[in-house]
């Protein structure tokens, strides 16, 4: 299998991208990664890989892309001037079928705009959505979308998101009938923005034909209870929710660490509970959930956090591989076609 990688999107430079990529190919002998960026820079970074990762270089292919999308770039700039960037070259390889999917930690607005233009959207869709899974109660995980591709989403787009999220839960997690809800400020039918109320009415009327269980409105505290598989909202709300959740997780981890090391009784408790604490950290660590899917594209593209480390970028690659292996875009297209989503008004 081959994936295309934008090596220049990370806030920390290409080093973390290359280390994450090297780990991925070492663990998967059938994987080849094509790295886009200035060839001299990437070749030099590959030579600096730690010794355990050096064996990966034979399956890390460098393709020269002299420019890259800066963090401050706009979507309009990317569309007009971004043809020579590492991001555009990565997407072109995917669009031409020479790679099964792509991964970038670069500018989100630029990635969405370029992917929409170069790879294209599935029939009936007007915009892609960004979705990621978050840990939830009962040992489950919940898919949240949109996470920032669409700050303001009309009714039809929210319905699109519900269908795409359900297809994702079915495809990647094997949930036969995902439980889907719209995020709202209350459970009463009259609450929320007009677009949310209209989407609720559309989904409620067709609940029996959708291939998933529509559960109505969900409030913020229900995200982590484990009763839902997919929660739908506009990109502004979703992005704020995700970032707040990550910040809360880090704060709780710091508080717990401080409490367990501030006095001798806490240090003793930490020693006794260390296996459980390690497991909890592993399950809740945001790094393990790095990598958000651009749903609605004809091919799989995953957006990594720009601030992630090498381990986080490795998990973004793993997410892309998982989507490709399960033919996620084709599964989404099938569900959209069956439900005739283009008729939503």
- The predicted-structure confidence for 12-28, as pLDDT tens digits, reads as follows 999 999 999 999 999 99
Structure tokens belonging to residue 205 = 């009327």
User: How sure is the predictor about 264, in pLDDT bands with cuts at 50, 70 and 90?
Assistant: low
Listed in order, the ranges of the chain carrying CATH 3.40.718.10 are 1-122+296-325, 129-292
Across 197-207, average pLDDT? 88
For the purposes of burial, counting CB atoms within 10 Å of the CB of 220, is it exposed (0-12), middle (13-18) or buried (19 or more)? middle
pTM of the model: 0.84
Rounded Cα gap, residues 312 and 302, in angstroms: 12
Q: Which two tokens stand for residue 342?
A: 């283009």
The CATH architecture that domain 1-122+296-325 belongs to is 3-Layer(aba) Sandwich (3.40)
Average pLDDT over residues 48-65: 91
- When pLDDT is cut at 50, 70 and 90, the band that residue 342 belongs to is very low
**92-115 confidence digits (pLDDT tens):** 999 999 999 999 999 999 999 999
pLDDT of residue 5 exceeding 80: yes
Q: What CA–CA distance (Å, rounded) separates 102 from 93?
A: 8
Q: Which residues contact 224 (CB under 8 A, 6 or more apart)?
A: 134, 135, 136, 137, 142
Which residues touch 127 (CB under 8 Å, ≥6 apart)?
116, 121, 149, 150, 157, 160, 296
From the candidate CATH numbers 3.40.718.10, 3.40.1280.10, 1.10.3720.10, 3.40.50.970, the one assigned to the domain spanning 129-292:
3.40.718.10
d(CA 239, CA 233): 10
d(CA 67, CA 73): 13
So what's the pLDDT on residue 284?
Answer: 53
Full DSSP string of 159-199: HHHHHHHHHHHHHHH--SS-EEEEE-S-SSTT-S-HHHHHH
């Amino acid at each position: 299998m081959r994936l295309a990688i934008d090596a220049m999107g990370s806030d920390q430079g290409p080093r973390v991208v290359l280390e994450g990529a090297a780990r991925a190919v070492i663990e998967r002998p059938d994987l080849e990664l094509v790295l886009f960026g200035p060839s001299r820079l990437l070749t030099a970074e590959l030579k600096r890989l730690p010794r355990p990762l050096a064996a990966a270089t034979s399956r890390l292919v460098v393709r020269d892309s002299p420019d890259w999308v800066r963090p401050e770039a706009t979507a309009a700039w990317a569309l007009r001037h971004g043809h020579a960037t590492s991001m555009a070259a990565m997407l072109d390889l995917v669009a031409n079928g020479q790679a099964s999917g792509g991964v970038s930690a670069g500018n989100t607005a630029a990635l969405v705009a370029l992917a929409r233009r170069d790879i294209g959207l599935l029939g009936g869709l007007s915009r892609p959505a960004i979705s990621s899974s978050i840990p939830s109660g009962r040992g489950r995980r919940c898919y949240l979308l949109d996470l920032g591709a669409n700050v303001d989403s009309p009714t039809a787009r929210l319905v699109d998101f519900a269908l795409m999220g359900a297809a994702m839960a079915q495809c990647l997690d094997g949930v036969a009938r995902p439980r889907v809800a719209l995020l709202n400020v209350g459970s009463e039918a009259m609450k929320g923005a007009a677009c949310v109320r209209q989407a609720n009415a559309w989904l409620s009327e067709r609940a029996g034909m959708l291939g998933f269980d529509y559960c109505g409105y969900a409030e913020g505290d229900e995200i982590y209870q484990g009763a839902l598989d997919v929660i739908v909202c506009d990109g502004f709300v979703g992005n704020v929710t995700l970032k707040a959740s990550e910040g809360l997780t880090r704060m709780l981890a710091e508080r717990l660490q401080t409490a367990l090391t501030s006095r001798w009784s806490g240090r003793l408790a930490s020693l006794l509970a260390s296996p459980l604490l390690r497991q909890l950290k592993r399950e809740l660590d945001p790094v393990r959930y790095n990598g958000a899917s651009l749903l609605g594209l004809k091919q799989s593209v995953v957006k990594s956090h720009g601030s992630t480390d090498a381990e986080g970028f490795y998990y973004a690659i793993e997410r892309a591989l998982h989507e490709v292996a399960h033919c996620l875009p084709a599964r989404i297209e099938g569900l959209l076609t069956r439900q005739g989503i283009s008729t939503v008004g």
